[in-house]
Amino acid sequence: MRKNRSHATVGAHAVAGVLLLGTVLPFAWMVLSSFKTPAELNGADKQLLPSGLYLGNYEAVADTNFFTYFLNSVIVAAGTTTIALLLAILAGYGFARFTFVGNRGMLLIVVAAQMFPAVMLAIPLFITVKTLGLLDSLVGLIVVYISFALPLCIWLMRNYFLAIPVETEEAAFIDGCSRLRALWKVVLPPALPGVMAASVFTIIQVWEEFLYANTFIDTDDKRTLSVGLNSLIGEFTTDWGRLLAAGVLVMIPVLAIFGYLQRYVTQIASGGVKG
Amino acid sequence: MSTVTDSPVADRSGLTPELQAARRRKVRRQRLAPVLYIGPAFLAIAVIIGYPVVNAIGTSFLDASLLRPGQDTFAGLGNYLALFGDPEFLTVLGRTLIWASSALVVQLGLGLLIANTLNKKLRARGAIRTTLIIPWIVPTVLVALIWRFMLDPVSGPINELLRSSGLLDNPPIWLADTRFVLPVLVLISAWKWTPFGAVILLAGMQQIPQEQHEAAMVDGANAWQRFRNVTVPAIRTSIALVTLTTISGAINNFNGIWMFTRGGPAGATEILTTLAYRTAFTQFDFGKASAISVVIFAMMMMIAVVYFYVVEGRKGGPR
């Protein structure tokens, strides 16, 4: 039996190795190639490694609107996360602590709200945003992004608040604390991991979002990263060097944030089952 | 539980009118509290989700075009009849189902393999799990950039590798070939989305008591038998959840396909979402586009109902 087990472990290591290779290799290839000269990228003699640390591709990124796209994404992510979380903390607390008529029904609506196809919302939202005069503005984009950020944030916050014993805030009430103050001072601090998780999830989704940003933004200066980089791909498909350098630059902050908050990310993904 | 008032008996009998009024105010405030907390979020959901959904369903019964603003006419089931009488739409509907079911097969299969591997005593298991999840957190536009480069016929390494290894003298231009483009996109989207399912499946597997595996081992079950008869039944809920998220994610996929192929070449990767988008924002036929999106919505609802029936029904109701 012992032999059998070590056999299985060897197999598992082999499978893990193949999976790791398949995951890492494309990223590694992008990073390596971003340091290749145009001749090396298009030349017939393909080399695995770049001949030197050629930085021309990175310099070329500065000639595009890349950093404007980047900044726009940061603005939209910050705005969406702040507003969605403020609303979700209140609502999540409300769902966790009050029983009232329509409680379950409203919670069901929150869950169902995550299931509507984005394309379905895009058409009426387009008309609404246009009527409000918010077409081609980052503010309009933030308003629209709350539609996908808010339901998930409410759900996450509710689950975190449920795990916090009611006694913590009851003690604060006795000390003369109002409910809102107790929520802020006593209930929220232990639920901070939930706030972090909800923020990470919102930021990932905003970073990713393409459909609405592509539809509601016309001016190049207001494009977000997804749309901006995608337009560059269309424009420079033969100039891979500059695109790959831009890709590496997109990758760095994503990996930095992920490395720092990695446990929250996996926690949510697995939280789906524990609910 | 924690009453601050002196004595409940005295409360009921001899309360001064002022105190009674104060208590009534307090009760009213408590009744109002849920409204104050949930109200703002709910209003936001009503305005930016509820209204658009109702509006989209309504528009699907109209002959509405952005080119003729203010001249919408009632079309009844006209848009739907036109769609289901159109062989091209039926092809796209069929392709959407093929796309979603192949995504499910690949992602669930790979997800189970990954989860089962990570559930073993591996060296640096945490680091491996973290690395494998990276494609999931990376934005789709980066996935598109990387894989378009990998598959590029001139600069990309994949065709170069196929040529130099002698496997294929004339490898196809994968994303421009109507025969290969859809399977290639299935694989690339699996590359991005499988880790998410794997984490869910792994969480389910980690809740299986070790004794169950040991008991099966004592009974002489091999690894595959243990996986089939111990692991899979125990993580039924996780499998159902991954099935639901994979199918709905594939049906709802827009970003990936639009960034890679925009539904092309020659419509080979057109699914319902890209068709709805094209109909709305390049043909400006909002009525027809809304009808397509309602069809997508109906498919999503069917999946949700099946999921709740299978999973929650068996567990005996949600939470």
Interval A231-246: pLDDT, tens: 988 777 678 899 999 9
Q: Residue B38 above 60 pLDDT?
A: yes
Q: Letter for the amino acid at A214?
A: N
**Rounded average pLDDT over A218-227:** 94
Q: How far is B77 from chain A (nearest CA, A)?
A: 18
Confidence of residue A102 (pLDDT cuts 50, 70, 90): confident
Which of A116, A178, A227 has the most B C-beta neighbours within 10 Å, making it the best mutation to test the interface with B? Answer: A116
Q: Letter for the amino acid at B120?
A: K
CB-based contact (8 Å) between A221 and chain B? no
Q: Do B145 and A113 touch (CB under 8 A)?
A: no
**Rounded average pLDDT over B163-168:** 85
Task: Give pLDDT tens digits for B147-163.
Answer: 999 998 888 889 888 88
Q: Do B117 and A27 touch (CB under 8 A)?
A: no
Nearest C-alpha in B relative to A200: B137
Q: Residue A161 above 90 pLDDT?
A: yes
* pLDDT of the residue at A27: 95
- Cβ pair A234, A162 in contact under 8 A: no
* pLDDT of the residue at B313: 64
Q: Which of residues 146-165 of A touch B (CB under 8 A)?
A: 146-147, 150-151, 154
Task: Give pLDDT tens digits for B304-315.
Answer: 888 878 776 665
Peptide bond into B265 cis (omega under 30): yes
**Rounded average pLDDT over A58-66:** 90
Option in B48, B134, B289 nearest A147 (CB): B48
Which of B68, B141, B187 has the most A C-beta neighbours within 10 Å, making it the best mutation to test the interface with A? Answer: B141
* pLDDT of the residue at B10: 47
Q: Residue B245 above 80 pLDDT?
A: yes
Which of A5, A15, A19, A202 has the most B C-beta neighbours within 10 Å, making it the best mutation to test the interface with B? Answer: A19
Least trusted range by pLDDT, from A200-214, A233-247, B5-19, B280-294: B5-19
Query: Mean pLDDT of all residues in chain B?
Result: 87
A157 Cβ neighbours under 8 A, 6+ residues apart: A85, A88, A89, A91, A92, A93, A96, A191, A194, A195, A198
* pLDDT of the residue at B261: 92
Dig out the tokens for A157 from the structure: 């916050």
A20 versus B307: the higher-pLDDT residue is: A20
Q: Do B191 and A19 touch (CB under 8 A)?
A: no
Q: Residue B211 above 90 pLDDT?
A: no
Option in A126, A211, A270 nearest B200 (CB): A270
* pLDDT of the residue at A274: 41
Q: Do A124 and B51 touch (CB under 8 A)?
A: yes
Confidence of residue B272 (pLDDT cuts 50, 70, 90): very high
* pLDDT of the residue at B171: 87
d(CA A141, CA A73): 10
Instruction: Write down the residue that tokens 């159902």 correspond to.
Output: B240
Option in B123, B154, B202 nearest A42 (CB): B154
Cα A56 → chain centroid: 30
* pLDDT of the residue at B315: 55
CB-based contact (8 Å) between A241 and chain B? no
Query: Mean pLDDT of all residues in chain A?
Result: 87
Dig out the tokens for B117 from the structure: 């591997």
Q: How far is B245 from chain A (nearest CA, A)?
A: 10
Q: Residue A5 above 70 pLDDT?
A: no
Nearest residue to B237 (alpha-carbon basis) of A273, A268, A275, A271: A273
* pLDDT of the residue at B43: 93
Q: How far is B87 from chain A (nearest CA, A)?
A: 22
**Rounded average pLDDT over B181-190:** 97
A10 vs B contacts (CB less than 8 Å): none
B191 versus A254: the higher-pLDDT residue is: B191
**Rounded average pLDDT over A18-45:** 87
Dig out the tokens for A95 from the structure: 């769902």
CB-based contact (8 Å) between A265 and chain B? yes
Instruction: Write down the residue that tokens 């567990």 correspond to.
Output: B315
* pLDDT of the residue at B213: 85
Q: Residue A43 above 90 pLDDT?
A: no
d(CA B254, CA A158): 30
Q: Residue B7 above 90 pLDDT?
A: no
- Cβ pair B273, A117 in contact under 8 A: yes
Torsion of CA A147, A149, A155, A160, to 10 degrees: -150
Nearest C-alpha in B relative to A252: B138
B273 vs A contacts (CB less than 8 Å): 117-119
Q: Do A266 and B199 touch (CB under 8 A)?
A: yes
d(CA A185, CA A183): 6
- Give burial (CB, 10 Å; 0-12/13-18/19+) of A227: buried
> Is the ipTM beyond the 0.85 threshold?
yes
- Cβ pair A69, B180 in contact under 8 A: no
Q: How far is A122 from chain B (nearest CA, A)?
A: 8
Q: Residue B90 above 80 pLDDT?
A: yes
Q: Residue A7 above 70 pLDDT?
A: no
Nearest C-alpha in A relative to B220: A1
Residue A49 has what DSSP assignment?
S
* pLDDT of the residue at A1: 43
Nearest residue to A142 (alpha-carbon basis) of A211, A83, A197: A83
Option in B131, B223, B276 nearest A24 (CB): B131
**Rounded average pLDDT over B31-45:** 89
Q: Which of residues 103-132 of A touch B (CB under 8 A)?
A: 103, 106, 109-110, 112-113, 115-128
* pLDDT of the residue at A6: 66
Q: What is the pTM of this model?
A: 0.87
* pLDDT of the residue at A125: 93
* pLDDT of the residue at B166: 84
- Give burial (CB, 10 Å; 0-12/13-18/19+) of A133: exposed
* pLDDT of the residue at B316: 47
- Give burial (CB, 10 Å; 0-12/13-18/19+) of A198: buried
Q: How far is A71 from chain B (nearest CA, A)?
A: 16
* pLDDT of the residue at B5: 47
Least trusted range by pLDDT, from A11-15, A30-34, A41-45, A53-57: A41-45
**Rounded average pLDDT over A91-102:** 89
Task: Give pLDDT tens digits for A115-125.
Answer: 888 999 998 99
Nearest C-alpha in B relative to A224: B141
Option in B44, B144, B217 nearest A230 (CB): B144
Beta strand extents in chain B (DSSP E only): 62-63, 73-74
Residue B285 has what DSSP assignment?
B
d(CA A230, CA A99): 47
Per the rule left: phi > 0, alpha: psi between -120 and 50, beta: everything else, A70 is: alpha
CB-based contact (8 Å) between A27 and chain B? yes
Option in A94, A119, A230 nearest B273 (CB): A119
* pLDDT of the residue at B9: 45
Nearest residue to B114 (alpha-carbon basis) of B198, B186, B239, B190: B198
